[in-house]
Amino acid sequence: MNNVIAHVLSNLTCSMRFEGTLNVDLNEITMNLVPYPKLHFLVPGLAPLYSLADVRLQPRSLDQMFKDCLSPDNQLIVSSPMDHMYIAMGLMIRGNVAFSDVNRNIDMMKKKMNTIYWNQEGFKYGICNVPSLGQKQSILSLSNNTCIKDTFLELTNRFDKLYSRKVYVHHYKEYIDVSHFDEAIANVKDLYSMYDELERMSEPENIPKLKPLI
């Protein structure tokens, strides 16, 4: 687990430490992947993932790693992004990678993804020339996806079961007012509602279609 976390942080900050063909920093990621201030919870995915734990596994091709970025098995929380709505997507790519290969794979990803109608081009990617230690190429995906609402729902359900019986609450009464718990859980439920609303959002039928210029 520590190995996986280290690779995620290494890929996330590689543009600050190494030169790259198309480096992006954390400010650019936030600006491009977070359309609403409160909805800043990005789902990380790592490819390759399982070779980090077992060096005997065969290395993945670049095309396969792009496919893995959409797979539930490569997400670092229990989620299935392809079953939900993508709001925006970021890719941190490391290694000797050609722009043509990246653009080709992104075009293929777009055809498979269910992306919200007002942000169909919501992709941001960066390329760092220096690969991760022990790997020729790697990809860190950061998706702003409504699948995160399932995690919030699980947290609130578990919290409600404990809080309804005031389990462990006495440990905190000395330091904070109990009303902070009510405020916190209300905020989490509000986040769930916002992501759920986006997932159910459909393209308005009365928006006129743009005609081609030629």
CATH number where 155 lies: 1.10.287
Pair of tokens at residue 109: 């990803």
pLDDT reported for residue 16: 83
pLDDT reported for residue 161: 95
Distance CA 162, CA 164 (A): 6
Which residues are part of the catalytic machinery?
Answer: 28
The number of folded domains in the chain is: 2
With 70 as the cut, is the pLDDT of residue 206 above it? no
Q: Which residue has the tokens 């919870």?
A: 41
Instruction: Report the residue count for the chain.
Output: 214
- pTM exceeding the 0.85 threshold for the entire prediction: yes
% pLDDT > 70, the chain: 91
pLDDT digits (tens, 9 = 90+) for 139-196: 999 999 999 999 999 999 999 999 999 999 999 998 999 999 999 999 999 999 999 9
Domain assignment of residue 13, yes or no: yes
Domain assignment of residue 60, yes or no: yes
Residues 109, 164, single domain; the answer is: no
Residues 27, 111, single domain; the answer is: yes
Domain assignment of residue 207, yes or no: no
Residues 12, 80, single domain; the answer is: yes
CATH number where 117 lies: 3.40.50.1440
Q: Which residue has the tokens 């718990």?
A: 181
Residues 81, 173, single domain; the answer is: no
pLDDT digits (tens, 9 = 90+) for 80-122: 999 999 999 999 999 989 999 999 999 999 999 999 999 998 8
Pair of tokens at residue 25: 């920093």
> pLDDT grade, residue 213 (50/70/90)?
very low
Domain assignment of residue 29, yes or no: yes
Pairing assessment for the beta strands 43-47 and 86-95 based on DSSP bridges: unpaired
Range of the domain at 186: 150-199
